[in-house]
Amino acid sequence: MSPCGPGSPSIRVSWAATLLLFLGVERALALPEVCIQCPGSVRNLSEVALYCKQTPGLMLYARCCLNQKGTILGLDLQNCSLKDPGPNFPQAHTAIIIDLQANPLKDDLANTFRGFTQLQTLILPQDVNCPGDTNAWNTVTFYTNSKTCQGQRNLCNSTRNTEICPENGSCVPDGPSLFQCVCADGFHGYKCMRQGSFSLLMFSGILGSTTLSISILLWGTQRRKTKASRTT
C-alpha cells in the first residue's frame, strides 16, 4: 500500500492540482467585482462552501465559487449589510446557488434576478419574499432567521400559461417567474406578426432621415432667432 502521510504522493498531487486550478482562474479572467464587493470570504460551513467543495472542478475565491473558466456558480454575500444586491449583482447570473441571508434587503427582488435562469437555491432573510413569490419555486423552507427558495420553476412549462406568447413566438425563461417571448425565424415586430427579416438598413435610413430633418428644423429656428435679434 502507498503511504498516506502528509508527504505522500497523493497529498502532493491534490495540493498541486488545487494550486494549478487557482492559478488558472486567476489568469483566465479578472475576478468579477461582485465577488469582492463584500469583505471576507465564503464561510466554511455555508451552503455555498459545501456546494463548491462537493462539486469537482470548482474552487472558492473571495465571496464566489468559480469553475476553471472563472464562471460564477455560487455567491455568498451573507452578512454584508446590503440593502440591495448592488449594480454588479448581474455578474452572478450564472450562479446555481446564492446566499443573501443576514442582510437588510428590500422586499421586492423580482427584477433583481432577471436573467438568473440557472439559479436553483436562493437563501434570503426570513422577512424577504422569494423572487416571483412561492409559485416560482418548488419548495420554500423557513428557518429561524432565513428562508431557502429551492428549485426554480420554468414558467414557460406551466400548463396554465399555454398562450403566454403570440402564435409566432416562443417562451424563454428569464429568471424566477420571469420570461420573454422570442419571435420565430422569419418573424419580427409587435407580437411577432411581421414576416420576413428585420431590415436594419431600412431602420437606419428612417432614423437617419428623421434625425436630419429635426436638425435642419432646429438650425432654421435658431437662424431666424439670430436674425430677429440683429434687427432689434
pLDDT tens column, 130-186:
999 999 999 999 999 999 999 999 988 875 656 788 888 899 999 999 999 999 998
DSSP 156: G
In this predicted model, which residue has the larger pLDDT, 8 or 73? 73
pLDDT tens column, 170-225:
999 999 999 999 999 989 888 898 886 644 555 555 566 677 778 777 776 776 66
For residue 76, is it within any domain? Answer: yes
pLDDT score recorded for residue 27: 44
pLDDT at 104 over 90: yes
- Count of other CB atoms within 10 angstroms of residue 143: 10
Spell out the long-range contacts of 127-136 with Cβ–Cβ below 8 A and sequence spacing 24 or more. 128/100, 130/176, 131/175, 131/176, 131/177, 132/175, 132/176, 132/177, 132/178, 133/177, 135/177, 136/176, 136/177
How many distinct structural domains can be found in the chain?
A: 1
Which residues, 6+ apart, have CB-to-CB distance to 135 below 8 Å?
A: 153, 177
Report the amino acid identity of residue 134: T
CB 181 within 8 A of CB 171: yes
Nine cell digits for residue 97: 446557488
For residue 63, is it within any domain? Answer: yes
By residue range, what is the domain housing residue 64?
Answer: 9-105
For residue 222, is it within any domain? Answer: no
| Average pLDDT value for residue range 83-88 | 94
For residue 115, is it within any domain? Answer: no
For residue 99, is it within any domain? Answer: yes
pLDDT tens column, 20-71:
454 444 444 578 999 999 999 999 899 999 999 999 999 999 999 999 999 9
